[in-house]
Every structure is written in structure tokens, then in C-alpha cells.
């Protein structure tokens, strides 16, 4: 949080590619709900998404996180529904797609330590 009480993302450009979009999302969510704890980039960026889904195929991707403050359950539900709606619409306005989908683990993937040990 900045000295004026505004919530900002943790990573500055050039590390976060969509910082201005994230700031806009947080600004609106904070103004409407007052319940944003923090927001940041997971510092991961994919330059070219390989997918059969035309909406995301060939686009770049970045994982962002906005965490809400704890609130009573009814208010939390409203904040979640409103938050998802705002995020999707702000992303769309910037030519982006918000998915809310975590990465799926690859069953055949090995831990990095195991791969490194095999190469040695």
C-alpha cells in the first residue's frame, strides 16, 4: 500500500507486463468494495500460449493475483462475483482474457532437482 492508501502491485515494469491493467483493476475494486488486501504479479510470463482455444491461442500470458481482505461471508460472496465481473471486463477492454484458471500440473513432470541430478 502506498503512503496515500492506494494498493499497488509488487513488481514494477519491465518484470510485470500488465501492471497498468492490474492497477486499474485494483483501483476499481478498491473504490467499489474497499476490500483489497494486495495485488501482484506472480512474475511469470509466457510469450506465446500454445492452445486449441482460439481465444487464447498465440497470445501472451501472465499470472496476476488480487487478494481480498477477510469480510463476512455474504459480503465476501458479493465481492467475489463483482470482482470477477470487473476483472473480466477490464481485461477485455484492454484486449486481454482473464481466465481464473490455475495451471494444471503435468503428471509426467519431474521436480527440477530430480532432472538436475540425472544430468550430472
Query: pLDDT, tens digit, for every residue of 93-103?
Result: 988 888 887 66
Angstrom distance (rounded) from CA 17 to CA 25:
14
pTM value surpassing 0.85: no
pLDDT tens readout for residues 34-69: 888 988 777 667 778 788 888 888 877 777 888 889
Does pLDDT of 90 surpass 80? yes
CA dist., res. 95 & res. 74, Å (int): 32
Residue keyed to cell 462475483: 81
Residue tagged 509466457 (cell numbers): 46
Q: How far apart are CA 67 and CA 87, in angstroms?
A: 13
Q: Which residues pair with 61 in a beta bridge?
A: 46
Amino acid at each position: 500500500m502506498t503512503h496515500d492508501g492506494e494498493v499497488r502491485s509488487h513488481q514494477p515494469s519491465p518484470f510485470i507486463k500488465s501492471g497498468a491493467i492490474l492497477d486499474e483493476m485494483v483501483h476499481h475494486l478498491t473504490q467499489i468494495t474497499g476490500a483489497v488486501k494486495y495485488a501482484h504479479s506472480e512474475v511469470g510470463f509466457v510469450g506465446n500460449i500454445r492452445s486449441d482455444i482460439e481465444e487464447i491461442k498465440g497470445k501472451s500470458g501472465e499470472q496476476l493475483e488480487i487478494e481480498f481482505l477477510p469480510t463476512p461471508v455474504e459480503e465476501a460472496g458479493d465481492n467475489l462475483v463483482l470482482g470477477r465481473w470487473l476483472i473480466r471486463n477490464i481485461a477485455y477492454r484492454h484486449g486481454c482474457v482473464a481466465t481464473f484458471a490455475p495451471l494444471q500440473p503435468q503428471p509426467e513432470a519431474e521436480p527440477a532437482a530430480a532432472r538436475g541430478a540425472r544430468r550430472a
